[in-house]
Amino acid sequence: MTVTWEPMLHELASQRMGRLLAFATMLAGPSLADDLVQDAVVAVFSRNRRFDSLPQAEQYVRRAIATRYIDSLRKDKADRERMRRYAAGELLPDPTDRVASADAVDDALAQLPPRVRACVVLRHLEDLSVRETAHTLGLSEGAVKRYVSDGLRTMNAYLGTELRDVETETAPMTERGAR
């Protein structure tokens, strides 16, 4: 059954807003999450799109959050500076600071440059394939593999975990200059 947009938007706001804000926060950080969700909901519902279910509507909004976030980074020079510092190892955390708490997860994600963070979240929270992640973010599949590989390395180092992603394992970008 297709639901008209106003009841669906209300249902989404009343039942799924926590999940959307949490996703946006993990993807982009708390300072951007509110605006991303607001903009994504308006963008998705402004089109003449049919939604058969609440999960389907939520899924559209989550994708819109990701694409809008990455679009906002494309001309962001500060993003490039973060990437430079990350590649140089300046942002890698001291393992002795590791704390096993929710804050530690937030802090670990905060260590990652935006594109790396987005790739990790879409791959390992949204469980998208490398291809789907690449299409969502407008990146090449090769770039996604490198970002995820580098991001997991940092996350594992920070949290003491050992997650590997065989689909994305590749040479870390900090070693690429040696070729």
Partner 1 sequence: MSELRDILHQRHHEMAASLRDAPEFDEAAATRAVRTHRRGRVVVMSSSSLAAAAVIASGTWLLLAPADPVVAPAWTPSPSPSVSVSPTSPASPAPEPSASPSGTAESEADPSVPLVTGDDVAVLERLMNPTTGETWHEPVEVDVPAGVEATDHRIYLEVGARADAAIVAAVTTYDSFYTTEGFQVVALLEVDGSGTRQIVCPSTRADDMCVGDTEIAGAAEDRETHYDSLTYPRSVTPAAAWTIATGTLDPSTHGGTALGWASLAAGAYAVLPDGTASTSVRTDQTRTEIAELGGSTLVALETPGEVEGTVEVHYAIDTPLGTRVQVGPATAGYGAGAVTWTDGVDTFAHPDGWGVDGVARPNEPCWGGHEMLDAAHDASRWTLAGESSAGTDVYVPADSSNELARRIFEFERDRSYGELVDPIYVYPYETFQEFLDTRSLFTWQRGDGAWVLGIDSFAGMRYYECV
Chain residues in the site for partner 1 (CB under 8 A): 5-6, 9-10, 13, 17-23, 25-26, 33-34, 37-38, 41-43, 45-50, 52, 56, 63, 66-67, 80-81, 83-84, 87, 102, 105-106, 121, 124-125, 131-132, 134-136, 139-143, 152, 155-156, 159, 161-164, 173, 176-177
Say how many C-beta atoms besides its own lie within 10 A of residue 114's C-beta.
Answer: 21
Residue 84 is classified by DSSP as: H
Nearest alpha carbon to residue 40 among 52, 24, 55, 56: 24
14 versus 96: smaller Cβ distance to partner 1: 14
Least separation in angstroms between residue 48's CB and partner 1 is 5
- Distance between CA atoms of residues 174 and 161, nearest Å: 20
Q: Which is nearer to partner 1, 90 or 94 (CB)?
A: 90
Evaluate whether 37 touches 27 at the Cβ level (below 8 Å): no
Q: How far is it, in rounded angstroms, from Cα 52 to Cα 37?
A: 21
Least separation in angstroms between residue 3's CB and partner 1 is 14
Q: Is 3 helix (H, G, I), strand (E, B) or coil?
A: strand
- Is the CB of 48 or the CB of 96 nearer to partner 1? 48
Q: Which is nearer to partner 1, 23 or 94 (CB)?
A: 23
